[in-house]
């Protein structure tokens, strides 16, 4: 049936295109007239660069009588024998180089122990994750013993416009490679527009379904404009609202993968901000709501060093508009590390352009991590001094200071300690450095009280040793 449909489409094209233009069937459409006849030439050129990915994830699962109760499960964790559980993940990927560099989604391959990639001509390759990042939902793979593969070129996604024709290529529901068409429905989708607070996406109405994840969103020239990653749906199927990770972020991943990075590194902004809405714009004397107002700024932030202050409005980064924290993260990620970017600031009704260094969060003051030994009341507990790196890693407030828990350990987890908890005091003795923790615990009696700052709330835990 599928072959018959393709044959019919080919006959239709042959009867509509003059004999002198017969070669047009093997090249990208060059005019609106050719596009109206179908996407067959475009698909023939682009589809071989989109692959099917089969990933196997082995997870250890402990079964306890209270495993469905998050409260009691903390107490019984570690008391049952772990049982391996195999999960199979199905998705898509896009070849970006002739030697087998493939991009896909983190949620498809990021935790996989065995990855198999199948091309449109049924060749199979083992693959290894080279670089992956859960927050961006991107992963770079290297196919083993691959050469001479077809691949797609990355387009400058900042040049994509709403209304452009777009094709989504992937493997929905495991039925095999499928092509769907639509348009670019929106740009700079972030925050509530995607159903989550993170991310920065291109929106399309080209049908995307489970299994399309990691597949290609291409333009009418066959260039990659995005990696399909998620949908907004009530039924589990496509409702015409799909999102793709822009190609410019994929390019930043490729650049770091080529440099041998083991994890994706983003420039550090060292700030908190909020979008400028109509009310805020009026209070700031702005004609139109635009940009992001800085609500908190770390003293070591590169923006602070460049001259920004709380209350300033960031309008753009490297010439591209910024209207939310997600857009800020995206623009800085695309700008890359080790250089400067021009950032437009609005203060007191006046605009100015400042050069901001694209740098990592510094490990200053030194974190001095410390793990408690087996003789401690909380063996395995790991604590560290709060600095910009731990603020980023544990998503702490910009103004956070003191000592933070990076790993509660087995016993700490049972009594309710969590990563990211800031230790204020133990037995009413203030904790100021990591070394204070074992010192205070060594003098503890039969009972212990731990005062914490957990996500801005003060929490006190009491338990018997």
> In sequence order, which residues have a C-beta less than 8 Å from that of residue 247 and are 6 or more positions away?
154, 155, 156, 157, 223, 224, 225, 226, 227
The Cα 43–Cα 205 span in angstroms is 18
Given 133, 137, 219, 316, the catalytic residue: 137
Structure tokens at 5: 């449909």
* 321 bridge partner residues: 316
Distance CA 122, CA 110 (A): 23
Residue 326 annotated among the catalytic residues of the structure: no
Selecting among 97, 99, 107, 407, the annotated active-site residue is 107
Q: How far is CA 229 from CA 55, 163, 224, in A?
A: 16, 20, 14
107 tagged catalytic: yes
**Residue 429, strand partner residues:** 426
Q: Which one is catalytic: 213, 238, 324, 333?
A: 213
Which tokens hold the place of 210? Answer: 């489970």
Q: Which two tokens stand for residue 199?
A: 């991310």
**80 a catalytic residue:** no
Please give the DSSP secondary-structure letter assigned to residue 154.
B
CA 301 to chain CA centroid, nearest Å:
22
Neighbours of 367 (CB within 10 A): 20
What is the CA angle 167-89-138, rounded to 5?
A: 55
Q: Cite the active site residues.
A: 107, 137, 213
């Amino acid at each position: 049936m599928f072959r018959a449909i393709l044959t019919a489409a080919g006959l239709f094209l042959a009867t509509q295109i003059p004999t002198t233009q017969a070669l047009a069937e093997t090249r990208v459409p060059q005019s609106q007239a050719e596009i109206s006849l179908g996407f067959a030439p475009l698909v023939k050129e682009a589809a071989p660069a989109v692959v099917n990915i089969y990933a196997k994830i082995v997870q250890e699962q402990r079964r306890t009588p209270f495993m469905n109760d998050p409260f009691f499960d903390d107490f019984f964790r570690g008391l049952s024998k772990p049982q391996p559980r195999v999960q199979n993940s199905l998705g898509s990927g896009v070849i970006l180089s002739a030697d087998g560099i493939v991009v896909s989604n983190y949620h498809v391959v990021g935790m996989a122990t065995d990855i198999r990639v199948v091309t449109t001509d049924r060749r199979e390759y083992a693959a290894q994750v080279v670089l992956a990042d859960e927050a961006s939902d991107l992963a770079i793979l290297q196919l083993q013993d691959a050469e001479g593969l077809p691949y797609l070129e990355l387009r400058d996604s900042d040049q994509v416009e709403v209304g452009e024709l777009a094709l989504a290529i992937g493997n929905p529901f495991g039925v095999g490679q499928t092509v769907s068409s639509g348009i670019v429905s929106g740009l700079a989708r972030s925050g509530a527009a995607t159903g989550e607070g993170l991310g920065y996406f291109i929106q399309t109405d080209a049908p995307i379904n489970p299994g399309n994840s990691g597949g290609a969103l291409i333009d009418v020239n066959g260039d990659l404009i995005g990696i399909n990653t998620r949908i907004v749906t009530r039924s589990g199927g496509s409702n015409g609202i799909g999102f793709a990770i822009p190609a410019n972020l994929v390019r930043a991943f490729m650049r770091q993968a080529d440099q041998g990075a083991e994890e994706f590194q983003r420039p550090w902004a060292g700030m908190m901000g909020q979008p400028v809405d109509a009310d805020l714009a009026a209070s700031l004397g702005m004609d139109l709501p635009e940009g992001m107002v800085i609500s908190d700024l770390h003293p070591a932030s590169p923006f602070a060093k460049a001259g920004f202050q709380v209350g300033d409005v960031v309008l753009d980064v490297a010439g591209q508009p910024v209207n939310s924290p997600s857009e800020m993260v995206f623009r800085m990620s695309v700008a890359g590390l080790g250089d400067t970017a021009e950032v437009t600031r609005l203060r007191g009704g006046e605009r100015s352009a400042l050069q901001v260094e694209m740098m990592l969060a510094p490990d200053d003051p030194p974190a001095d991590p410390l793990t408690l030994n087996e003789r401690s009341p909380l063996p395995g507990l790991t604590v560290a001094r709060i600095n910009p790196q731990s603020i980023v890693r544990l998503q702490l407030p910009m103004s956070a200071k003191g000592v933070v828990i990076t790993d509660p350990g087995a016993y700490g987890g049972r009594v309710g300690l969590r990563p990211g908890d800031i230790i204020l005091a133990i037995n009413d003795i203030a904790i100021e450095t990591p070394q204070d923790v074992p010192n205070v615990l060594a003098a503890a009696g039969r009972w212990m009280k731990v005062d914490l700052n957990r996500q801005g709330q003060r929490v006190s835990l009491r338990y018997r040793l």
